[in-house]
Chains A and B, each alone.
Chain A
Amino acid sequence: MPERPPSWPDRLFRALLRAFPFDFRTDHAREMEQTFRAQRREAHQEGSMTALARLWFEAFRDVFTTAPREHVSILAQDVVYALRALRRAPVFAASAVLTLGFGMSAMTGMFTIVNAIMLRPLPVDRPEQLVSISNRTGFPYGLSFLDLQDYRQLSAVLTDAVGYAPGVAALDAGDGAERTTIEMVTDNYFSVLGVQPAAGRLIQPNEGRAPGDAPVIVLAHRYWQSRFAGDPAIVGRSVRLNGQPFTIIGVASPSFGGTETLVRVAAYVPAWMFDMFSAPTADSVLDDRARRLFTVLGRLQPGVSLAQARAALGVRAAALARDYPSTHKDVSLQVVPETHTRPNPEIAPFLRVAAPALAGLAALLLLITSANVANLLMARAASRGREVALRAALGARRGRIVRQFLTEAVVLALLGTMVAVPIVVFAMRALQDLIAGVSAIATFEPDFRVDVRVLGVALALAIGAGIVSGLAPAILAYRTDLSRSLQGGGRGTAGGSGSRFRNTLVVAQVALSLTLLVSGGLFVRSLDRARNIELGFDPDGVLLASAAPGMQGYDSVRRLAFYRTVRDRISSLPGVTQAAWISVPPLGITFPRAEVAPDQRPTDPDWRPPTVYTADVSSDYFVTARVPVVEGRAFDDRDNAESAPVVIVNEALAKQFWPDRSPIGRRLTADGATLDVVGVVRNGKYQNVWETPRGMIFRPLAQGGSPFATLAVRASRSPSGLAPAVREAIRQIDPDVALYDVRPMSVHLDNGSAFFIFRVGAFITGVFGAMGLLLASIGLYGVIAYHVSQRTNEIGVRMALGARAADIIRDVLLRGGRYALIGIAIGVLLAGALAQMLRTLLVGVSPFDPLTYAAVVVLLLTVSLLASFVPARCATALDPLVALRAD
């Protein structure tokens, strides 16, 4: 019967059949087409369109029901078969599962962090509608309370907007004060976010607005559980916040963890009560458009695009800039989805560079891991040649065998997730502890939870890694020469192409691990450089202790008395050389800033007063911190609340304001106060170690009375040994004052903006690099050992003919060295390209730092030769007679 070209219904049906598994199609496609054609013919003969339509409907339904069922049934068979096969090779299975588990844990861990900080939606009603509205022109990035009220009126684009400002307060429920992180929230905060109460009620509009309104507080659910054991009777009770009574009106719902991603908030207070927490001044901070205190989230009107909202808010911002030029001239609004500004607008851009970079490094590690497992699978495929041949002889098709091999690799990787997930959980706990230790100033507690999204990514990674590591061995098994395998007992099936592929894998592993090691090395060098940067003060032998008498509701007179008594008492302790207070220690998490202007303002109409760092210090500070006074005098006991307000500037500010004359005797204004310059001190690092010298002003602590301050104690012996005595002395002076972060300056620097990020970066990339090196050396060892085992016979002959052991070893080492050198050459190029991308994260180190590259190359070469030396040594240790018989 002549074959006619297939008609369109035939072609369509054939296309549908592609949904069925390969084997199914091979066995039945032709018959199914015939059957379907016969059924169609029959329907035609009946002349019934309904019958024909029904036939097609059934055909489509078939594909969607029967085909997946067939796939699942094959998958189930393959998985069972794979599990059985792996149980027969427990050592292989365990090493592959562990290797993949470690490799995937790095990537899964990175994703867990990214998920927690950048991806996970806020636990609120319709979080996708929320946009962050912030000040693009830098710190402070928030908006003032009055600006927020203006933006709230843009109801064409926003249904509403909320503002919040975190702060630290001492909460006393009658059982002693405890430092907690609280949040000042606008009265619409809970209603706009759609948060429900778990007990009592939440803050209502205008609550606390009228003077004399009773102060109220809402507890976060977790804090209610941990501090009050979830006692519902707590609602209506009074607690003291910074010494003032507040009534607990309710508890937020358990699902609501707050709008901060790094900080765990314990309780919420209406923003109307902001003034209760700040220094008493004539004007409310809420009425001051210059105080940009609030982080603002707007909720878009349904159907309004981000661009429309941006345009409308921009128009309003321009109007504000016209109306309030002194404070709003430079304000430029940034309106982006809420997730884009986490954990805050200042750090977000950095994280958006750092996170993909680190994830990229983790991906490299996973690639090396997959290469290693591919290598293991190749070796296994070679030794299973006989089994494959047997199955093929029994009728298994090659496609089916490839599918089986891939399934086995994916099963291994899925088992690997059972290793990876616990590692990630453990590592995230450790990281959480590390972050919690940064400072007791706030409860830093990012939620690095392994949630459904993380598990989904872990499973996707496993399937990907399984396919990547299983594909080549599967193809190899497919190409295997079956008849030879059956005869040859399984040896040599991986033949030429197999070992070539394994060699390529090893070269790739060496190249990738070199890339990882170079990035690790660059981060370690960055940390080293950062540690050696001149800080402008002497951090060695200094103990820090922070206290917050302001949290007890002490007024400035009482605070100053406390500061004075503590300093005098601690100075006289044995082992203490000097002690002095500073309102905020340098290189912590943030450093306060102020707007300053010299007495004679430049005539340039565009000139704006610069923002510089500011701190209040007690009289002995410069001696204690060993900051040299280069001109004028340091503060002394003459500078007090009654005397003329004075200021000491650093060299950078002196040069900026009075470039060609002495600043002593001149005046400057800082945040509205006029101050006499009495001294100039050496420049230092205040916020970051990599900052260029920035202006800084010091004011006497006695003329301000900061609500909190940190005591710097210079010790003549180990500073940490002094901690208990300092703690005890302060407790004796006033047991009620909250004391925190009692630790050596070196620990403070490690946890602060100085080194924390470098330490984390160096640690993560260092671990990645070390794991990469280990895996690459295992891979190299495996290939060389295989190579040696294949040549046992030849080596035996050579030895029998009188070859010296040294010659054999040299040959083997040369082979290993060749792979290593090719890998290193490729790796150097890769590393250079990658380092270029990491440039913004490196400090004081060129991305092409020759020392790092040289050290890594030497290290890799040494490790490679070692990895080849072991099998080489084994080869020469063989008895030639045994070796000759080895086949």
Chain B
Amino acid sequence: MTSRIRSVDAFLPLTPPMLHALLALADGDKHGYAILKEIARRTDGAVRLSAGTLYALVRRATADGLIVESDERPDISLDDERRRYYRLTPLGRRVAAAEIARLESIVEMARAKKLVPRPKTT
């Protein structure tokens, strides 16, 4: 696959569901349903992905090398072994960070134009 030689910029911008999925994996490996739960929890239920959308995302992210299926499993008693766990790759991590930076620069621009207020500094 040619994706390995694609630079980080080639993935940007990410779709919001993709960014959410990568973010959900940032603090540890998760299976599909856990990713959905995490996204719903973090966004107070504002972003709810359906199974089809999620696995289409997972598929694309795997093909692009942003995530991989993880070999490590949590404690066997907690784990339903039929579940597959996904892990953020270093490339995925860099892509997510680049997307956040891109969003930050946009937010910065909006602040400079006083479209949104600056956060209060203490």
Contacts and interface: CB of A to CB of B under 8 A. Distances in A.
Interface of A: 20, 24, 27-28, 30-32, 34-36, 38-39, 55, 58-59, 61-63, 65-67, 69-70
A35 B36 contact: yes
A31 B30 CA distance: 13
Interface in B71-109: 80, 82-84
Which bucket holds chain B's interface residue count? 10 to 19
B56 A70 contact: yes
Contact of B51 (A27, A36, A65, A70): A36
B50 A59 contact: yes
A34 B82 CA distance: 9
B118 interface: no
Given A31-B84, A34-B83, A59 B51 contact: yes
Given A34-B33, A34-B83, A35-B36, A27 B59 contact: yes
B32 interface: yes
A69 B33 contact: no
Contacts of A69: 56
A20 B52 CA distance: 9
Contacts, number: 54
Contacts of A66: 52-53, 56
Nearest to A37: B33
Interface of B: 31-33, 36, 48, 50-56, 58-59, 80, 82-84
B17 to A, nearest CB: 11
Given A31-B31, A32-B52, A66-B52, 17 more contacts: A20-B52, A28-B58, A32-B32, A34-B32, A34-B82, A34-B83, A36-B51, A39-B33, A39-B36, A58-B48, A59-B50, A61-B50, A62-B53, A65-B52, A69-B56, A70-B56, A70-B59
Closest 7 CB pairs of A and B: A62-B52, A66-B52, A58-B50, A28-B55, A32-B51, A35-B33, A62-B50
B119 to A, nearest CB: 34
Most chain B beta-carbon neighbours within 10 Å: one of A20, A32, A35, A61: A35
Contacts of A32: 32, 51-52, 55
Contacts of B84: 31
A149 B86 CA distance: 81
- Binding site secondary structure of chain B: helix
Nearest to B51: A32
B32 A35 contact: yes
Contacts of A55: 50
Nearest to A70: B56
Contacts of B54: 35
A653 B53 CA distance: 85
A62 B59 contact: no
Contacts of B31: 31
A628 to B, nearest CB: 88
A24 B50 contact: no
Nearest to A62: B52
Nearest to A19: B52
Nearest to A61: B50
B52 A67 contact: yes
Most chain A beta-carbon neighbours within 10 Å: one of B31, B33, B53, B84: B33
Nearest to A67: B52
B83 A31 contact: yes
A580 to B, nearest CB: 84
A655 B84 CA distance: 98
Nearest to A58: B50
A66 B52 CA distance: 6
Contacts of A34: 32-33, 80, 82-83
Contacts of A28: 55, 58-59
Contacts of B58: 28
B52 A63 contact: yes
26 contacts: A20-B52, A24-B56, A27-B55, A27-B59, A28-B58, A30-B82, A31-B55, A31-B83, A31-B84, A32-B32, A32-B52, A34-B82, A34-B83, A35-B36, A35-B51, A35-B54, A36-B51, A38-B33, A39-B33, A58-B48, A58-B50, A59-B52, A66-B56, A67-B52, A69-B56, A70-B56
Most chain B beta-carbon neighbours within 10 Å: one of A31, A38, A55, A61: A31
